[in-house]
């Protein structure tokens, strides 16, 4: 019995369609994982099936009632218990939660059952969060119209780590963020596309040299694109001791930009006569 993920939402059909597609859908059909999306509106007690109201204290927007969310969570707990599983770990998707990272995904992937609760409109009555949440998560420093997309991001990143979902464990262990670095660049056929060649090292058949090249590309990308990750990588002792190349001065960068590219200066991606990047 694979990991179970439940999503409590006002738009269960939208979420379930995503979970039923592609890699996750195939994994669910093979029994490696299990996903369920629940309609919060089904648990309202009023005749109009209303799920929200104006916030106390004034302000714009509407706030989701605590009661239907609470009753939805209780029903999901009951269903999970009927399967003989431990109680689900409950995560509320909120803008005020911890910023989500691969480290969170790995930790959440250890649970047998995970329940993601989606906010909407202006937010959720804080009392139901206090009563049920094991934690709150935000996928980034920006605002969405609802928690559905955020919950799907979390579900995807967690479920793909489950046994049997990906063809190989290396499918995620060599990807960005797994070891604290960004992933190296990837290439496939043809060897030359619109004048741009695959780095020759990847065609050499020398697996050790390929691994070394990929490791260096990963370090360079992280250092250049995500200085925050690079600093954390160094602080954790991840650096292999190879001194990183010094960043050229502004004058030197300008001069380099005006010079024609030589083979291998950009990792072998662009031969000297390659066309300019399309705008």
Using the 8-state DSSP alphabet, how is residue 120 labeled?
Answer: B
Burial of 241 (0-12, 13-18, 19+ CB in 10 A): exposed
> Does 91 share its domain with 10?
yes
Residue 235 is predicted with a pLDDT of: 92
Among the listed residues 213, 209, 206, 197, the one whose alpha carbon sits nearest the alpha carbon of residue 263 = 197
Residues 74 and 122 in one domain: yes
- 149 and 201 co-located in one domain: no
What gap in Å lies between CA 248 and CA 254, rounded to an integer?
10
Task: Report pLDDT digits (tens) over 216-266.
Answer: 999 999 999 999 999 999 998 876 555 444 444 555 445 545 555 444 444
Question: 126 and 41, same structural domain?
Answer: yes
Answer yes or no: is 179 within a domain.
no
Q: Tell me the three state secondary structure of residue 224.
A: helix
Tokens representing 162? 């489950």
172 falls within a domain: no
What pLDDT is recorded for position 237? 86
CA–CA dist 73, 90 (Å, integer): 9
The angle subtended at Cα 110 by Cα 172 and Cα 106, nearest 5°, is: 40
Q: Are residues 13 and 67 in the same domain?
A: yes
At residue 167, the pLDDT reads 82
Nearest CA among 218, 214, 220, 219 for reference residue 202: 214
Q: Could you tell me the CATH number of the domain that includes residue 154?
A: 3.40.1280.10
> What is the C-alpha separation between 185 and 181, in angstroms, rounded?
12
Give the Cα separation of 173 and 168 in Å (integer): 9
pLDDT recorded at residue 265: 41
**pLDDT value for 169:** 60
**Quick check: 270 and 279 in contact, CB under 8 A?**
no
Distance of CA 111 to the CA centre of its chain: 17
What's the pLDDT score for residue 175? 55
Considering the domain architecture, whether residues 232 and 141 belong to the same structural domain is answered as no
Q: In what order do the strands lie in the sheet with 52-53?
A: 52-53, 63-64, 123-124
**C-alpha to C-alpha distance for 197 and 268, rounded to whole angstroms:** 7
φ/ψ of residue 242, rounded to 5: -75, 120
Q: Which domain holds residue 150?
A: 3-159
Strand bridging mode 135-138 / 123-124:
unpaired
- Say if 119 falls within a structural domain: yes
Looking at the structure of the chain, the number of domains it has is 2
Do the domain assignments include residue 228? yes
**196 close to 229: Cβ distance less than 8 angstroms:** no
Do 116 and 54 lie in one domain? The reply is yes
pTM over 0.75: yes
From first to last of the 279 residues of the chain, give the pLDDT tens digit.
899 999 999 999 999 999 999 999 999 999 999 999 999 999 999 999 999 999 999 988 999 999 999 999 999 999 999 999 999 999 999 999 999 999 999 999 999 999 999 998 889 999 999 999 999 999 999 999 999 999 999 999 999 999 999 987 655 555 555 678 888 999 999 999 999 999 999 999 999 999 999 999 999 999 999 999 999 999 988 765 554 444 445 554 455 455 554 444 444 444 444 444 444
On whether both 139 and 234 belong to a single domain, the answer is: no
In this prediction, residue 258 carries a pLDDT of: 55
Q: Report the percent of the chain where pLDDT is more than 90.
A: 75
Burial 61-79 (b: 16+ CB within 10 A, else e): ebbbbbbbbbebbeebbeb
CA distance 221 to 266: 12
Distance CA 247, CA 27 (A): 45
Nearest to 242 by CA among 225, 269, 220: 220
What is the model's pLDDT at position 277?
Answer: 45
Q: State yes or no: cis peptide before 127, omega within 30 of 0.
A: no
Same domain, 150 and 207: no
């Amino acid at each position: 019995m694979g990991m179970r993920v439940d999503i409590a939402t006002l738009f269960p059909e939208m979420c379930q369609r995503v979970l039923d597609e592609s890699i996750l859908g195939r994994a669910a059909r093979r029994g490696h994982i299990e996903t369920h999306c629940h309609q919060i509106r089904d648990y309202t007690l009023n005749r109009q099936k209303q799920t929200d109201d104006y916030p106390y204290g004034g302000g714009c927007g509407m706030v989701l009632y605590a009661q239907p969310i609470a009753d939805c969570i209780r029903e999901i707990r009951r269903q999970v218990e009927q399967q003989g599983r431990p109680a689900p770990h409950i995560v509320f998707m909120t803008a005020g939660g911890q910023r989500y990272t691969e480290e969170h995904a790995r930790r959440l992937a250890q649970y047998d059952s995970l329940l993601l609760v989606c906010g909407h409109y202006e937010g959720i009555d804080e009392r139901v969060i206090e009563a049920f949440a094991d934690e709150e998560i935000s996928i980034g420093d920006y605002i969405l119209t609802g928690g559905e997309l955020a919950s799907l991001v979390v579900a995807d990143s967690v479920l793909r780590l489950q046994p049997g979902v990906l063809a190989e464990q290396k499918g995620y262990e060599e990807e960005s963020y797994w070891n604290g670095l960004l992933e190296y660049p990837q290439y496939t056929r043809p060897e030359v596309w619109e004048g741009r060649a695959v780095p020759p090292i990847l065609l050499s058949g020398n697996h050790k040299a390929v691994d070394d090249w990929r490791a260096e590309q990963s370090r360079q990308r992280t250092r250049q694109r995500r200085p925050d990750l690079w600093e954390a990588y160094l602080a954790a002792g991840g650096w292999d001791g190879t001194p990183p190349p010094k960043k050229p001065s502004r004058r030197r960068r300008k001069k380099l930009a005006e010079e024609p590219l030589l083979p291998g200066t950009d990792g072998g991606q662009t031969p000297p006569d390659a066309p300019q990047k399309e705008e």
